[in-house]
């Protein structure tokens, strides 16, 4: 059974940092992409970053580019999201999600809306709340 467990959220002041972790079980990363989404109150869920570690490929939303870094530890089956220079608008519940996707499909769709289409991700963890105070 595929399971994802997100952790690491908390309260931080603007300009601060947090590191989120997503522990995965029931599958290996070889054929999967892992993404972080977030949902702020009253807003739609949006993609933040994703990684397909077997391709050494990462992707970021423009709003977090240069501030967030996604990485994977295949031995531990975890994906982390290092969030620096946090802003109040980063406040949201953050979710990790997994999609089984081949390398060819991943590459064909690089940079497109496919990467952050929630319907492409069949497995979701529970959210972890990030609150950034001004």
pLDDT value at position 56? 83
* Structure-block tokens of residue 65: 């580019």
pLDDT value at position 28? 84
| pLDDT above 90: residue 89 | yes
pLDDT value at position 110? 85
Q: What is the 3-state secondary structure (H, E, C) of 115-127?
A: HHCHHHCCEECCC
Contacts of 83 (CB under 8 A, 6+ apart): 17, 18, 19, 20, 64, 67, 68, 90, 130
């Amino acid at each position: 059974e595929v399971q994802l467990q997100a952790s690491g959220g908390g309260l931080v002041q603007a300009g601060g940092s947090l590191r989120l972790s997503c522990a995965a079980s029931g599958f290996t990363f070889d054929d999967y992409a892992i993404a972080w989404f977030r949902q702020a109150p009253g807003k739609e869920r949006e993609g933040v970053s994703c990684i397909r570690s077997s391709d050494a490929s990462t992707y970021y939303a423009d709003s977090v580019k240069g501030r967030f870094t996604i990485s994977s530890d295949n031995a531990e089956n975890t994906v982390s999201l290092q969030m620096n220079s946090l802003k109040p608008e980063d406040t949201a519940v953050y979710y990790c999600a997994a999609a089984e996707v081949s390398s060819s499909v991943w590459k064909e769709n690089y940079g497109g809306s496919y990467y952050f289409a929630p319907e492409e991700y069949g497995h979701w963890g529970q959210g972890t709340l990030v609150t950034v105070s001004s």
